[in-house]
């Protein structure tokens, strides 16, 4: 049976390989073969959702490697959904990987992926109901783009079809082309809409929109467009926002986007999560969430805080509660690097049986993910 997270991460890695290492033919072939093998296990429907993706209805969070970039590239290329049928051909899979790996043209616009057919890979640039009006299957390898075909099949788009919500409209215009001569204006407009939404008290929408900006920024080469994103993001990531974002890390529907924002904030993100640790002292679930957030941030400040929290403290006075230590160990299990690994190795000899077991499990998880 196909594992949604495994498929999404494999797809994200393959796309990044084709994008960042165009001459690594051997590695590209290996990534393609892996995807071919996965599709033999069953079909997979991949849908972009903010900085995350859904695979066969299961949410694959943006905290996993490569997922925010995969979601951003799908949106940039106009792909709302990609359907991989069982036993999809290597040619169709290769076409999708190459398509998602393409950068913007001279005008800053990303080319739309080709529309596919139900026998291999289907790329839906628009809703399935509109796509059905074409009346015939179109191979992903054919030289057709969704926009001109649908223009012939549909009546002209009316201005009223543009999103009525200012934030949604601003993000749609930005994602249609995240570079180009007017990128600063479009990024600034999106930033102003986000700031307005924050003032209205709608934190979830604001956090998700900022996470989308971060995903788009990460996909850009060094240059004017990236600097434009950086300027706007620095203005948005104020301490007040970060403190509010830190309160969402344990709440369903907001946590993934909140982690993306805090990771972009780096040391500042770690510091505001640390301030939430004290506030979460009487809430074990929230406490576990904030320590997990520190592990996902992974900055030096975050790692130092996790190491300190994982220690036993004094023999009698100052001894830490077991729940805090176990939550910190879980956070350390999400960190790569000698400091985290060394601490976990040392904790395998702790006097507390539960701590020893947690440290062993965290190390086993690290090694399993690295293999």
pLDDT digits (tens, 9 = 90+) for 200-228: 778 888 888 898 888 888 778 777 788 88
Q: Are residues 144 and 73 in the same domain?
A: yes
| Boundary-marking domain end, from 153, 188, 211 | 153
Q: Are residues 113 and 33 in the same domain?
A: yes
3-state secondary structure of 29: helix
3-state secondary structure of 148: helix
Does residue 119 carry a pLDDT above 60?
Answer: no
| 259 domain-assigned | no
Confidence tier at 356 by pLDDT (50, 70, 90): very high
DSSP codes joined into one string, 89-143: -HHHHHHHHHHHH----TTSPPPPPPP--TTSEEEESS-HHHHGGG-S---TTSS
Q: Are residues 146 and 9 in the same domain?
A: yes
How many whole angstroms separate alpha carbon 294 and alpha carbon 285? 15
| Boundary-marking domain end, from 219, 248, 277 | 248
Q: Are residues 108 and 166 in the same domain?
A: no
Count helices and strands (H / E) in the chain: 18, 5
pLDDT at position 159 is 42
Mean pLDDT for the chain? 77
Does residue 96 carry a pLDDT above 90?
Answer: no
Q: Are residues 97 and 145 in the same domain?
A: yes
**Element holding 215 (H helix, E strand):** helix 203-218
pLDDT at position 30 is 92
| 256 domain-assigned | no
Domain extent at residue 176: 158-248
| 28 domain-assigned | yes
| 257 domain-assigned | no
Q: Are residues 368 and 230 in the same domain?
A: no
| 350 domain-assigned | yes
| 258 domain-assigned | no
Q: Are residues 329 and 193 in the same domain?
A: no
| Boundary-marking domain end, from 134, 153, 172 | 153
Q: Are residues 217 and 329 in the same domain?
A: no
Q: Are residues 74 and 133 in the same domain?
A: yes
The share of the chain scoring above pLDDT 90, in percent, equals: 14
Q: Report residue 118 as tokens.
A: 């139900």
| 21 domain-assigned | yes
Q: Are residues 23 and 49 in the same domain?
A: yes
Q: Are residues 87 and 199 in the same domain?
A: no
> Do the Cβ atoms of 103 and 152 come closer than 8 Å?
no
Q: Are residues 315 and 363 in the same domain?
A: yes
| 316 domain-assigned | yes
When divided into structural domains, the chain yields a total of: 3
């Amino acid at each position: 049976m196909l594992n949604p997270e495994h498929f999404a991460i494999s797809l994200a890695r393959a796309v990044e390989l084709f994008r960042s290492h165009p001459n690594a033919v051997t590695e590209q072939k290996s990534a393609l073969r892996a995807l071919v093998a996965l599709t033999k296990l069953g079909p997979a429907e991949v849908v972009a959702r903010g900085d995350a993706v859904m695979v066969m209805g299961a949410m694959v969070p943006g905290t996993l490697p490569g997922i925010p970039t995969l979601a951003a590239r799908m949106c940039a290329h106009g792909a709302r959904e990609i359907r991989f049928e069982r036993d999809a051909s290597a040619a169709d899979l290769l076409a999708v990987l190459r398509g998602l790996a393409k950068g913007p043209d001279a005008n800053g616009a990303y080319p739309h992926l080709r529309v596919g057919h139900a026998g291999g890979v289907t790329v839906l640039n628009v809703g399935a109901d509109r796509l059905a009006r074409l009346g015939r299957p179109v191979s992903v390898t054919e030289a057709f783009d969704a926009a001109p075909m649908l223009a012939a099949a549909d009546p002209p788009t009316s201005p009223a079809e543009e999103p009525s919500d200012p934030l949604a409209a601003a993000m749609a215009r930005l994602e249609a082309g995240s570079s180009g001569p007017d990128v600063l204006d479009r990024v600034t407009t999106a930033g102003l809409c986000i700031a307005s939404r924050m003032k209205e008290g709608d934190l979830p929408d604001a956090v998700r929109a900022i996470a989308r900006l971060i995903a788009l920024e990460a996909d850009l080469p060094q240059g004017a467009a990236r600097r434009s994103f950086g300027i706007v993001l620095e203005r948005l990531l104020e301490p007040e926002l970060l403190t509010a974002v830190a309160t969402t890390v344990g709440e369903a529907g907001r946590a993934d986007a909140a982690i993306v924002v805090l990771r972009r904030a780096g040391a500042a993100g770690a510091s505001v999560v640390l301030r939430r640790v004290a506030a979460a002292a009487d809430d074990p679930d929230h406490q576990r969430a904030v320590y997990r957030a520190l592990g996902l941030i992974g900055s030096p400040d975050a790692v130092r805080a996790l190491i300190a929290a994982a220690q036993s403290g004094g023999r009698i006075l100052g001894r830490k509660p077991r729940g805090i230590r176990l939550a910190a160990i879980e956070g350390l299990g999400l960190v790569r690097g000698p400091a985290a690994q060394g601490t976990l190795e040392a904790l395998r000899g702790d006097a507390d049986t539960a701590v020893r077991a947690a440290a062993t499990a965290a190390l086993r998880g690290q090694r399993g993910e690295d293999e």
